Amino acid sequence: MSGFDTFDKGGRVPIPRFGHGSRVPGWDLEVDLDKDPAVIPDPETTPVPDELRRDIEDAMSKYPDRHSASLPALHAAQQLHGWLSPEAIDQVAAVMRVTPAYLTSVATFYDMLETEPELVGHHDVYVCTNISCSLLGADQLYEAMIAAAAEHPDVHVRAFECLGACDIAPMASVDGEYLGPLVDEDAAQIVEDLHAGRAVLESKQLRFRKSVDPQVVAQREREGY
C-alpha cells in the first residue's frame, strides 16, 4: 500500500499510519460531496466498451438474479482496465443497473479485485505465505520475489492467503499458473519468463504434477502411463 509511514513511539510496536497521522486509507482522496452515491450511472453518458458489455450481459443471463453477476462483471472490467478504477466501476454499474457504491462495497471485500491503481495487462504474482509454505521458507521467497520485481512496475507481487497447493510448498501463483516447490533463485527466472512471454518456469508447474499416492503410482505402472 502506498504512502503510509510508521511513527515509532519509543520502542513500542510502531503503528502504521498514512500521511498526517491518519490510520484511515483514502483520507486524502478528493471526494465530490455533491454527488449522490445512490445514483445508477446513465447508460447514455457512460460509454462502455462493447466487449465488456457483452461479457457482463453474458454473466447476468446465467443467474436468476442479475446481482449474482457482480463478481464475473468486476473481473471482466479489471481485465480490461488493469484495476477497478472509478470509471471501470461506473461502466459495470451502468450495464448491471446497480449503484457504483454497491459494486465498490463488493470490490473492496475480495483480495483478487484491485482497488488501487495497476497497469493494464500487469502480471499478478501471488506468493503464498501461509503456514505450510512459511514452514518451508515462503517469507524468504516473498522477499526474493519482491527484489526480483523491484525494477518492473508491471509485475505486481503480493503475499497471499493459502492458495491450496501446500503439496508444492513454498509456491506462488503467477497469472493463475501454480508453481512450486520454489527456491529463491526461481524469482528472477519467473520475471524473465514473464517478460519473454513464454510459459513461466514450466518444469515447476503444478498442472504436470503426478499423484504421490502409492496406490496411484502402482496403478500408473500397471496401466502404463
Partner 1 sequence: MLLLFDGIDEPGLSTLPVYERRGGYQQLRKALAMTPEDVLADIGDSQLRGRGGAGFRMAQKAGFLPHGEMEKYLVCNADESEPGAFKDRELIQKNPHALIEGIVIASWAAGIDRAFIYIRGEYAYQADILEAAIAEAYEAGYIGERILGSEHSVSLVLHRGAGAYICGEETGLLDSLEGKRGNPRLKPPFPAIEGLYDGPTLINNVETLYTVPYIIGMGGKEYAKLGTDTSTGTKIASISGDIQRPGNYEIEFGIPAREIIYGLGGGPPEGRDIKFWFPGGSSSPVLTKDDLDVPYDYDSLAKAGSMLGTASIIVVDDSHSVLEVMHKLVKFYAHESCGKCVPCREGTNWTLKMVQRIESGEATPMDLDIMANVQTHIIGNCLCVLGDAMAMPVGSMVEKFRQELEAEIEAARARAAAGSAEDVIPIGVADEHAGPVPVH
The residues, any chain, with a CB within 8 Å of residue 208's CB and separated by 6 or more, are 202
Considering only the stretches 29-37, 44-52, 107-115, 192-200, report the one whose residues sit in contact with partner 1 under the rule CB under 8 A.
Answer: 107-115
Binding map of partner 1 across residues 32-61, x = CB under 8 A, - = no contact: ------------------------------
Distance in angstroms (rounded) separating the CA atoms of residues 142 and 169: 13
Which residues within the stretch 124-163 sit at the binding site for partner 1 (CB under 8 A)? Answer: 126, 129-132, 134-136, 139, 142-143, 158-163
Distance in angstroms (rounded) separating the CA atoms of residues 37 and 211: 52
Distance in angstroms (rounded) separating the CA atoms of residues 180 and 201: 9
Binding status of residue 80 toward partner 1 by CB under 8 A: no
Q: How far is the CB of 199 from partner 1 (least distance, A)?
A: 13
Residue keyed to cell 513511539? 9
Which residue in 153, 32, 162, 146 sits closest to 82, CA to CA? Answer: 153
Considering only the stretches 31-39, 41-49, 168-176, 187-195, report the one whose residues sit in contact with partner 1 under the rule CB under 8 A.
Answer: 168-176
Q: Which of 39, 112, 119, 199 touches partner 1 by CB under 8 A?
A: 112
Q: In the structure grid, which three cell numbers stand for residue 215, read together?
A: 496406490
Q: Which of 65, 121, 197, 208 touches partner 1 by CB under 8 A?
A: 65
Q: How far is the CB of 162 from partner 1 (least distance, A)?
A: 4
- Tell me if residue 7 falls in helix, strand or coil: strand
Distance in angstroms (rounded) separating the CA atoms of residues 32 and 16: 27
Question: Which CB, 15 or 150, lies closer to partner 1?
Answer: 15
Residue keyed to cell 475480495? 110
Considering only the stretches 31-39, 41-49, 85-93, 176-184, report the one whose residues sit in contact with partner 1 under the rule CB under 8 A.
Answer: 176-184
Sign of the alpha-carbon dihedral angle for 199, 202, 208, 209: negative
Which residue in 93, 81, 107, 96 sits closest to 41, CA to CA? Answer: 93
Binding status of residue 21 toward partner 1 by CB under 8 A: no
Question: Which CB, 159 or 194, lies closer to partner 1?
Answer: 159
Considering only the stretches 48-56, 64-72, 87-95, 185-193, report the one whose residues sit in contact with partner 1 under the rule CB under 8 A.
Answer: 64-72
